[in-house]
Amino acid sequence: MAAAAEEAAGSGGGGSPSSARRRLRIISGHLRGSPRAPEREALSPSPCKAQGGPAGPVSGSIPKKRQELLKWNGWGYNDSKFIFNKKGQAEFTGKRYRLGGMVLPTFKEWIEKTFGASLEHKTTSRASLNINDVPPSIVNEDFLQDLRATKISYSQDAEDRVFRAHGHCLHEIFVLREGMFKRIPDIVVWPVCHEDVVKIVELACKHNLCIIPFGGGTSVSSALECPEEEKRTIVSLDTSQMNRILWIDEKNLTACAEAGIVGQDLEKQLAESGFCTGHEPDSMEFSSLGGWVATRASGMKKNIYGNIEDLVIHIKMVTPRGIVEKNCQVPRMSTGPDIHHFIMGSEGTLGVVTEVTIKIRPVPEYQKYGSVVFPNFERGVACLREVAKQRCAPASIRLVDNAQFQFGHAVKPQVASIFTSFLDGLKKFYITKFKGFDPNILCVATLLFEGDREKVLQHEKQVYDIATKFGGLAAGEDNGQRGYMLTFVIAYLRDLGLDYYVIGESFETSVPWDRVLDLCRNVKERIVRECKEKGVQFAPLCTCRVTQTYDAGACVYFYFAFNYRGISDPIHVYEQIERAAREEILANGGSLSHHHGVGKLRKHWMKESISDVGLGMLRSVKEYVDPNNIFGNKNLL
């Protein structure tokens, strides 16, 4: 790590500091005489905020003290949630989302009919965190003394530690509502730049500590849970204060940002300069750039902008062995196996990603939503397959099955206008009576087009023409926009369900086109069968959507929930059923994960997924880069 610290003092381009400075001089020389040269000061290394650099701290959307804004035992913002008001009507609180403050007149009926739930049967969650339940912080005093000397911010506060002890798996949230984790981080540290991370990793090596990197905290793979058997001091390295865009290169359409910046801030800051990444995972409000890299994330608009592996140009990562990065920022290299692919998907097992250079695009001049209703799921899948085959997919195209369509209808706000209500009724009559679509079988695709206005309109016509060949009917822009925006609030629904004995979770896979229908049908049937065998008294909800499409296959995203009244250990039962569903996915030719990652939740299947030899290769990288298991979160391996 001494070598790493020395290297960090250079420009960060790889190699010795002198060679990095030499390259910088050469590049600067090429830029002299250019009328835009003064604007290219970003080629100089950005000073660390801790050293009083001119940039200063950036105030992000998510505060350092997460508890000031976010729920301690649920998803998202404190002021945003589904509730039943005094009249027994469902509504969504807050003003952050379009659904905020609106009454949902049919939601109560849907939840009662779907789950057999009742407003009379309500569970009670702990109103606040009981500090006495939190395991004590055990930190080596010598380490603390060395840490103080670095002037890096840290905390041993119980709330800070609990907030970083978990992600958002069902069992993690259930534990927070009912009890407490047996092991949580002993200390939280907040580096503000790459150099701070180098210092922290050096101290961890010196004192033999365990580091668990923390980005946005949105993991759904148990990746952030502390191993119960870990006896060393566990350090949660929170990257949230590393949240600057370091530079934007308009000529090459790239931008370099610190890894802790969350999606919404990245897009806002880029938009100020007229750019975007186009990377929009469902969690983009809270998830971080470094987290996207560490989990091989995918976004809703990947058809135009690509997945994270398509966007990344350069990665800087601090490991116990030193700093890993390439020596240049180019679109492609043929220099053996790509080291980026050791980093992407490594899930905090090798080191901490500190800076990432990604592709950017000009903000699209025109955006248009749309939707198509199909007579059944089979026709919808066939349409998406043809769209993918012709390589004309819009920015986002997602097909929901009938059960998810019914849910979407249940969270439709009360309409204020009699005329709007009349039009909705007219559309429903046209689709179900005149066209003969069965409302209990039909499914809907939501669309989002982006780009040049004229090209978007041409693109839209091409997609709708294909849809028509498969029996699809255009269902309007409003339904498309509402379906897209629902993505950001659907995660809040689980917290309401838990209040009324309903537990639920999502899981996903990727699958070849010729296996999509079989996989969807077989997984749903397996879940229903397992629920009966495990003593679940009420019929489960099992629904899916096709969310991302490729030449050779698609991503399928499942939601699964059931009423657990009468079950003594609902989480254990749920995990047994989910495990069976995952076995069914693999048996039907699906992948272990498309974008959620592996963590500790799915590592049981890693050997089956990548072969014994493949797993051995990953272990060899881990043993070389981190021989003392400093990054000991026990993910993947």
**Coil, strand or helix: which one is 130?**
coil
**How far is it, in rounded angstroms, from Cα 327 to Cα 511?**
36
**How far is it, in rounded angstroms, from Cα 632 to Cα 637?**
10
Structure tokens at 286: 């809270």
State the sign of the Cα–Cα–Cα–Cα dihedral 485, 491, 497, 499: negative
Structure tokens at 572: 């254990």
**How far is it, in rounded angstroms, from Cα 486 to Cα 488?**
5
Residue indicated by tokens 């070849």: 512
**CB-CB contact of 549 with 388 (8 Å):** yes
Among residues 369, 492, 500, 557, the one annotated as catalytic is 557
Closest by Cα among 17, 343, 352 to 198: 352
End-to-end CA, the chain:
24
* CB within 8 Å of 268: residues ≥ 6 apart: none
Q: CA angle, corner 454, sides to 448 and 456, nearest 5?
A: 15
Q: Beta partners for 104? A: 90
* CB within 8 Å of 397: residues ≥ 6 apart: 303, 384, 387, 445, 446, 447, 448, 463, 549
Q: How far, in Å, are 241, 253, 290, 350 from residue 316 at the CA level?
A: 17, 19, 10, 12
* 3-class secondary structure per residue, 386-412: HHHHCCCCCCEEEEECHHHHHHHHHCC
Q: Please report, as a single letter, which amino acid is at residue 105.
A: P
**How far is it, in rounded angstroms, from Cα 452 to Cα 364?**
7
**How far is it, in rounded angstroms, from Cα 468 to Cα 15?**
57
Q: Running DSSP on this structure, what letter comes out for residue 223?
A: T
Closest by Cα among 553, 533, 531, 554 to 542: 531
**How far is it, in rounded angstroms, from Cα 190 to Cα 64?**
8
Q: Beta partners for 561? A: 504, 541
**CB-CB contact of 62 with 473 (8 Å):** no
Q: Is 557 a catalytic residue?
A: yes
Q: Beta partners for 212? A: 236
Residues in the chain: 637
Q: How far, in Å, are 263, 266, 282, 363, 364 from residue 276 at the CA level?
A: 11, 8, 16, 6, 9
State the sign of the Cα–Cα–Cα–Cα dihedral 407, 410, 416, 422: positive
Q: Running DSSP on this structure, what letter comes out for residue 540?
A: P
Burial degree of 5 (CB within 10 A; 0-12, 13-18, 19+): middle
**CB-CB contact of 210 with 234 (8 Å):** yes
**How far is it, in rounded angstroms, from Cα 465 to Cα 55?**
51
Catalytic residue IDs? 557
